[in-house]
Every structure is written in structure tokens, then in C-alpha cells.
Structure 1
Amino acid sequence: MKKSLIALAVLAASGAAMAQSSVTLFGVVDATYAYGNGSVANRSQLTNSGYNSSRLGFRGVEDLGGGLSASFWLEAGLTNDDGRGGSTNTNNQTTGANASGGLVFNRRSTVSLNGGFGELRLGRDYTPQFWNLTVFDPFGTNGVGTTQTLNSSLGGPTTIRASNAIGYFLPGNLGGFYGQVQYYLGENASNVANKKDGNGLALRAGWANGPLNVAGAVSQTKFLNADIKAFNLGLQYDFGVAKLLTHVNRDDIKNGAEGTGWLVGALVPVGAGEIRVAYSTYEVDVAGPDPRSNKFALGYVHNLSKRTAVYATAAAVKNKNGAAQALNGSTTAAGRNSSGYDFGIRHSF
């Protein structure tokens, strides 16, 4: 009888511990047929991530008591058309150090401490300045409709993510105000000329309440004689019948070029689907005529269920003054135009 009581106590304690922690497997598989047309070469391909980025992830949280919790997030990018994993960089100074594309947690790899003070997050993560580009883009910076403020950006390796990052997020009970600060390390030796390469600091602050969401971000990543500064501001307003989205973005390379762009677009719900439309532009300020790319994109997403959707997107980009932006892997000559379209299906789990 005594042994039975002890066994029951052990099982009860084990159950309580399990109730305080949890691990979730999640992901997205997005298959896309993409076609690109350019003045030099066209391309037809089965690819991925035309609507949402394909990924495989694990996340978990443990209740530590007293209002504290610990959590982790491991998320790997997938190229499900050929079965590879995504690429990553290790020091904020290259754009794909793992070019072979083995399965790595390149999208996010963080551990956090959470409480009433907010969240302290350590590891590889989105940069604050990227959040405004993707949140305030009707296409979520995915597929052929992706805003030119990202496609043409001069922002360098930390435009989207930073490795070796120390981040802090404000708590979510501030009446709609939100914000984050992130410091990231290039991890170079102290006795080299470029010892600060890949180091950076970024800030984001915003307010979301009712139909309005507005946020601004600023960042600086250090490189020898070529620091990269970025600033952007985004806004979304929900009119009920449609959501208006817009953002402006500026990149400045020390002793180099400057780039400025903006986007205006909308999301329009239609039954079980949604129409997406955007016009975006980006211009690089250099000696002589400034290269400029203007893009118009139109798409439709139809939700077959809460987790499965089919979609189609068409886009055209007009290049001026030597710009040569091309869509969906095609190639176009300087100053010539390009067009493309996506058809796909996305399933999330």
C-alpha cells in the first residue's frame, strides 16, 4: 500500500511538471510554380514560399513560477521543392555561409526569459528594421510580389536577420505600445582592422490599437569604412472593407550609395479569400542618373481551410537608369523590364 502511494505521488509530481512545460512542432510547406520573364532570359521553376516561407520548427515554454517563464524557438527554412534546408550566416558579414543548404535553424534560433518586465531573447532572430518591411507589405515579403524596398535594399547581411543577437522586447500590456532593442555581434578578433565588422544596434517602436498600427525602426551595422544605416516607418489602417498598408525605407552606406524606397498597398477580404495589391519603388542615389525600380503586384489567396490555401500572384517591374531588377529567376538587361507570376498551395501545421 505504501509503495502504491509513493508511485501515485511520483506520477502526480511528474504530471504537474509536464503541465508546466510544453513543446510544439510546427511548420509551413508552401509549393510554388514560378515563371519569370526578362529581356535576356526567362525562367520556369517549381520553387517554394510564394505565399508563406516554408519552415520546420520547434518551440517550447516552461512556467518557472512567480510570473516568470523560459522559452526556446528553433526554426529551420525549407526548400521543399528539392528537400534541402535553408542557408544561414554566422557572423553578420556574409550572405549564406552555409551555401550547401543543410538543415540548419537559420530562420530563428533563440532562448528567452519572459516576465512582467518583457522578454530577454538571445540568439539568431529577425532584425527590428525588417519587421516594418514585412508587416507593412501586403505580400509579407514573400513571392514575386515582394516589395522592392527589400528586393533592391542596400542593407547588407543584416537586412532580414542577425546572428549572435541580444534582444529585449517590451511587455504586451502597455496600452498598444510595443518595442524592441537588439544588439548583435560580428565576433571578430580584437587585433584586426575590421574587428567591429558585423556588430550592430537596432531599435523599433510602435503603437497598435483598434484599426491603426504604426511603427518606426532604425539600425546601424558596422563594417570597415562602410557602416550601413537604415531607417523605416510603416503604417496600417483597417477600414473594415480593406486594410491600407504603407511604408518608407532608407538605407545609407558610409562613403557609398544611398537608397530610398516606399510602398503603398492594400488587403481586401473577399469571401473565403483575399485580394492583395501593392506598388513599390526603390531608387539608389549614385553619381550620374539614379537607378530606380518600380513594381506593381496583384494577387489573390483563397483559403480552403484554416491551414490550407491556394494563391496566385502576378507582378511587373519597370527599371530605369541602369537598374536591372528581374523577377522569379529571370535575367533582364539594365534599364529593361521584367514580369513574373506565381501559382501555389500552402499548408501549415
Structure 2
Amino acid sequence: MKNILIAVAATSAALTSPAYAQSSVTLFGIIDATLAVGKGSLADRTQLANSGWNSSRLGFRGSEDLGGGMSASFWLEAGFSPDSGVGAATNTNNQASGAAPAGAAGGQGLTFNRRSTVSLAGNWGEVRLGRDYTPQYWILSDFDPFNNNGVGTSQTLNSIITGVTSVRASNSIGYSLPATLGGIYGQAMYYLGENPSNAGATKDDGRGYGMRLGYASGPLSVAISTGQTKYAAGNTRQTNIGAHWDFGVAKLMGQLSRDKAGATDGRGWVFGAIAPVGVGEFRIALSEYKTDAGAGTEPRTRKLALGYGHNLSKRTAVYTAYARVRNSGGATAALNGATTAANASSSGFDIGIRHRF
């Protein structure tokens, strides 16, 4: 990533009032385009897709030193699809009513759907306001060898039942512990659905919280989290735990998750590794997700994923990945846009280019 002092910041810095001083502004991003092939028992699909190795994004972030160990910062990050140029949709209230209308995703232009926050930080920690990752999502991402990207994304996310706030929440107020606690880290988040008080049974819809606590030192990292979002139709809850150990030649990792959406329970696990080889790295992951939603059965999907990324430079890489899922109990999960019948298998293949700036 390259630091760029934007002209607006430079002009502001020239103003006489210290309130306009800006320490730094950074433009950053990732462009990741991939040829994605999916095979299923009912239909196959071939697409030029995106985010096969890392999620495509365009962002701006900045910070200001306030003195006395305090700082103010902002972070605006937009997801987009380099194959078509459209922006990713967002959600304004953590409910179905806050999503883009059906068929309009991408038609709304560029949105800062990935992150839109302003914060104050000091030796006491950080307070952050805006749209951000939920605490429980970090475990799904940090302890997945594919970091939830491309055809290798674990089934603990692909099949998750917790809906809108599985990954991010809007209208959030968050607090993170300071990075001076001997490897202990953690965060808490509270977010609002912003419904009027006279909305009856749905007045609390989209309101929720999340918490995460972890420890990272040397080769070990371990974390646990939980979160809940309220809905009149039935609350959702995510609880998970993950860990990794870096042996140098390979980093082994795993996670366990338990979810709830109304009366439906979901359980999943991931086990895998990342192994650096020369200027590249291999990724392997085995994952499973099942629910009790079936009539006398447990819909279950198990997935094996393999991938390799080759770094042409510090910023540019080429990669390929392959995955296959097996369904049982009536599950119909398929890969890369393919469709498959209940209890049938599906496979997917990615080959692409990723460039950071």
C-alpha cells in the first residue's frame, strides 16, 4: 500500500486553524479478478468473477495526532467488482428493509459497505463509530486458511444461517482494548436497528451486540466470540472459537462455530493450514456446516479446498484454487454459481490475478 497525501489534505494543512491539521491520508485498495468455474448436477456456470484470493476494495484512511497519546482517525472502504466495475451493496439498518431492492445490487453506485468509521484512540483503547465487522466475524475470517475469499471460503460462512449481521453491522458503537496488554486483545460492539419506538413487535429488529476476546503471542493465537441480533421473527446468535499455531513451515488453524436463527441451530468447523513455499503459499482447508432444519434429517455440507498463490512482487500475485462439496440430509450447496440437486456434489475452480496498491 502506498501513502498518498491527497490534495485536499494538503490544502487544509495550509489553513491557519489547527483544527484543520491532518497527519496523514492514505489511498489503498486491492483489485482481484478471477475466472470462476462451477460444476453441479443440475447446471454448470463459468464467470469472470472477483475476490478469489483477496477481497477487491477501494479505501481511504487517515489519522490525526491529538497529543497526549490520543489520535483521531477515519476509515472508508468500498467493495467493488473489477469484472464489471459495479459497487457492492450495503445495508443501512441490519434488517431486510435496509438492503438494496431486489436486482439493484451494484446499481446503487459505490458504497462504503466494507467499512465506514470514525474513531478516537489512546492508551485506554479505541472507540469506533459506524459500519464495521462484527466481533464474531473476525474468528470466521482469521482462522480460515482462505480468509473467506473465493471458491475456498469455508462452509462456516458459506452456509451460515444468521443473516444480515453475520459479517458486518451498521450503526455500531465499538470499543477495542489497547495493544499493551501482553498479547490480550478484545472488542465489544453494540449496534442499532434504528426503528421508531412505536413500531410494535419489530421496534428492536436489527439491534444487537458482539464481543470478542483473544490472546496472541509468538506462534499462538486463540480467540472466542459471541453475538446476538434481535428480530421479531426470531433472534440470531453466533458463537465461535478459533486458534492457530505457526510452526514456521506451516501455520495450522481451526475453528468451531455454533449459530442460531429463531428455532434453527447450525454447527460448523474448519481445519486447515497455510504453508509458505518460496515466494508463494499453499492453502488447504476442510470444513463442514450442518443445521437441524431438515424434517428428520440434518442438512450437511462438507468441503475440501486447495489453493496456491504465487507472488510476482510484493503487490501482485497469480493464484489458483479448487474446491469440492458433498451434500447430505437434503443440503444443496454448490460452488461458483453452479446449481446441484439435494445430496449431490459440486466442484469449483478459480484462476486469477490480485494486485494491491
Assess same fold via TM > 0.5: yes
State how far apart, in whole Å, the 2-side matches of 1:285 and 1:248 are. 17
Q: Which residue of 1 aligns with 2:339?
A: 331
2:329 to 304, 311, 321: 321
- Contact 1:242/1:269, CA 8 A, preserved across alignment: yes
State how far apart, in whole Å, the 2-side matches of 1:233 and 1:265 are. 15
Structure 1: 5+ residue stretches without partners = 1-10
State how far apart, in whole Å, the 2-side matches of 1:153 and 1:12 are. 50
Q: Which residue of 1 aligns with 2:5?
A: none
Q: Which amino acid aligns with 1:116?
A: N
2:139 to 116, 132, 139: 132
Q: Which residue of 1 aligns with 2:100?
A: 97
Q: Which residue of 2 aligns with 1:142?
A: 149
- Contact 1:90/1:97, CA 8 A, preserved across alignment: no
Q: Which residue of 1 aligns with 2:7?
A: none
State how far apart, in whole Å, the 1-side matches of 2:14 and 2:138 are. 43
TM alignment of 1:177-196, pairs within 5 A? 177-192=184-199, 193-196=201-204
TM alignment of 1:208-287, pairs within 5 A? 208-254=216-262, 256-286=263-293, 287=295
Query: Within the alignment, does 1:44 sit opposite 2:52 as a pair?
Result: no
State how far apart, in whole Å, the 2-side matches of 1:111 and 1:211 are. 32
Query: Within the alignment, does 1:206 sit opposite 2:214 as a pair?
Result: yes
TM alignment of 1:100-115, pairs within 5 A? 100-101=105-106, 102-115=109-122
CA deviation after TM superposition for structure 1 residue 18, in Å: 8.7
SS at match of 1:171: coil
- Equivalent pairs, count: 338
Q: Which amino acid aligns with 1:148?
A: Q
State how far apart, in whole Å, the 2-side matches of 1:27 and 1:85 are. 14
CA deviation after TM superposition for structure 1 residue 252, in Å: 1.2
- Contact 1:31/1:81, CA 8 A, preserved across alignment: yes
CA deviation after TM superposition for structure 1 residue 153, in Å: 0.4
Q: Structure 1's 96 and 328: CA in aligned 2 closer, same or farther, altered over 3 A? A: farther
Identity %: 62
CA root-mean-square deviation: 1.7
SS at match of 2:214: strand
CA deviation after TM superposition for structure 1 residue 169, in Å: 0.4
- Contact 1:295/1:315, CA 8 A, preserved across alignment: yes
Q: Deviations over 1:222-262 (max 9, x none)?
A: 000400111000001001110001000110123x2100000
State how far apart, in whole Å, the 1-side matches of 2:155 and 2:14 are. 56
Q: Which residue of 2 aligns with 1:6?
A: none
Q: Structure 1's 20 and 318: CA in aligned 2 closer, same or farther, altered over 3 A? A: same
State how far apart, in whole Å, the 2-side matches of 1:269 and 1:21 are. 36
Structure 2: 5+ residue stretches without partners = 1-12
State how far apart, in whole Å, the 1-side matches of 2:337 and 2:59 are. 27
Which 10-residue stretch deviates more, 104-113 or 90-99?
Answer: 90-99
Query: Within the alignment, does 1:65 sit opposite 2:67 as a pair?
Result: yes
State how far apart, in whole Å, the 1-side matches of 2:340 and 2:23 are. 53
- Contact 1:318/1:337, CA 8 A, preserved across alignment: yes
1:302 to 290, 296, 310: 310
SS at match of 1:335: coil
SS at match of 1:306: coil
CA deviation after TM superposition for structure 1 residue 139, in Å: 0.2
CA deviation after TM superposition for structure 1 residue 310, in Å: 0.6
- Contact 1:30/1:52, CA 8 A, preserved across alignment: yes
State how far apart, in whole Å, the 2-side matches of 1:267 and 1:279 are. 12
- Contact 1:117/1:170, CA 8 A, preserved across alignment: yes
CA deviation after TM superposition for structure 1 residue 321, in Å: 1.0
Q: Which residue of 2 aligns with 1:5?
A: none
